[in-house]
Amino acid sequence: MVVEPAEPVLEPFAYSPKPEDEQLQRYGTWQAGDLYDRFLGDTYTFGNWRFKPSTEFKLQRSNSRTVKFGAGKAGVGLDADLFTLYPRDHGMTCPVIEDTNSKQVFRLGRREIRARGDAEVSYMEAKGLCIWRVHTPPREGDNFGSCYYMAILGEKDAILFTGRYEAEKPEQATAFDAIVQTLEYVEEEETAG
């Protein structure tokens, strides 16, 4: 009988720096429903990251730092972007969040997200990563909603997912959640060969 090796059990925040408890207490947690799990495709490897894109979103463009999946309608889809934090931001544990009059600004290194004041902010710890989620639902009369997902890797690297979905298809946002929830970091030796 062949026994498959057990997957290593990762400690919480094994790859992402742990935010201060008071930072985490300000926000709720998120988790994808299982509605879309059955529509996830084959694993996509992106540098030292891997995730399972939805079969509904087709690969449109990729290089070593960015990848784009689209749903057939202009502007709708999910992009992923790998980047290095500025030296001054090394050691960040969560996005910098600033409140302005009508918007919340989320900054992670050189990436900045300007979300309306009604944006929903939450985090999830999965597979040793802390993944931050900023969801801006469409307002009445809006054609699109947005989802952003950010994960810091170690001291200086990060990944950002940007999703845009049609207001009449909120299940696309559920698909984004399901895709990003599969995100995992793969050690260098695991990706060799």
Q: Give mean pLDDT, residues 70-78.
A: 82
* Least confident among 14-23, 45-54, 64-73, 100-109: 100-109
Tokens of 35: 């509605």
Beta strands at 44-46 and 49-51: parallel, antiparallel or unpaired: antiparallel
* Least confident among 54-68, 109-123, 175-189: 109-123
Q: What is the pLDDT of residue 111?
A: 80
Q: What is the pLDDT of residue 177?
A: 92
Q: Give mean pLDDT, residues 71-90.
A: 85
* Least confident among 37-41, 52-56, 103-107, 134-138: 103-107
Residue 88: which pLDDT band, with cuts at 50, 70 and 90?
A: confident
* Residue at 111: amino acid letter: R
Beta strands at 120-126 and 129-136: parallel, antiparallel or unpaired: antiparallel
pLDDT at 53 over 60: yes
Q: What is the pLDDT of residue 61?
A: 87
For the range 54-63, what are the long-range contacts, defined as Cβ-Cβ under 8 Å and sequence gap of 24 or more?
54/175, 54/178, 54/179, 56/172, 56/175, 57/175, 57/179
pLDDT at 165 over 60: yes
Q: Give mean pLDDT, residues 149-170.
A: 90
User: Residues for the chain: how many in total?
Assistant: 193
Strand stretches in the chain, DSSP E: 28-29, 44-46, 49-51, 58-62, 66-70, 77-84, 96-99, 103-108, 111-116, 120-126, 129-136, 144-153, 157-166, 184-185
CATH number of 21-191: 3.40.1000.10
Q: Give mean pLDDT, residues 105-121.
A: 78
Q: What is the pLDDT of residue 193?
A: 45
Q: Where are the domains of the chain?
A: 21-191
Share of the chain above pLDDT 90, in %: 29
Q: What is the pLDDT of residue 190?
A: 56
Q: What is the pLDDT of residue 7?
A: 65
pTM for the model stands at 0.86
Q: What is the pLDDT of residue 176?
A: 92
* Residue at 48: amino acid letter: N
CB atoms within 10 A of CB 26: 11
